[in-house]
Structure 1
Amino acid sequence: MKKIHLLMIGLVLSTLSGCSVITGIFKAGAVVGVISVIVVVLVIVWLISLFRK
């Protein structure tokens, strides 16, 4: 079951191009960039907490 979750996370991460994400953040503005970073960090913490149970 954990392997399936890791595979899905890997698939999502591989489909996101880092450069295009950063370009979009800079076009949207600094406030949106900060909010985006906070949301991403919270999602990562949430995913890690799911695997520790």
Structure 2
Amino acid sequence: MNASRFTLFLFLSVMATALTGCEVIGDIFKAGAYTGIIAVFIVVALLFFIVSKMRGPRP
């Protein structure tokens, strides 16, 4: 019973994320190309920051 609940939760989480992502992308295209470029830059910078924090300090 736990595996099926986990699967359902995982499915619902993925669907909620995917549907929200499509809406955000549509809004970015409505706002314009420069807004999209800035949004992509911010997301890439945030991912780079998170990955560098996960790796820890370098000697």
Aligned pairs, number = 40
RCO (CA 8 Å, sep 6+): is it higher in 1 or 2? 1
| SS of alignment partner, residue 17 of structure 1 | helix
TM-score computed with the length of structure 2 as normaliser: 0.61
TM-score computed with the length of structure 1 as normaliser: 0.68
Q: In structure 2, how many angstroms separate the alpha carbons of the residues matched to 1:50 and 1:43?
A: 11
Give structure 1 regions of 4+ aligned residues with deviation exceeding 4 angstroms: none
% of aligned pairs identical? 45
Determine if the alignment matches structure 1 residue 23 to structure 2 residue 26: yes
* Bigger-Rg structure (1/2): 2
Q: In structure 2, how many angstroms separate the alpha carbons of the residues matched to 1:17 and 1:34?
A: 19
Structure 2: 5+ residue stretches without partners = 1-16
Structure 1: 5+ residue stretches without partners = 1-13
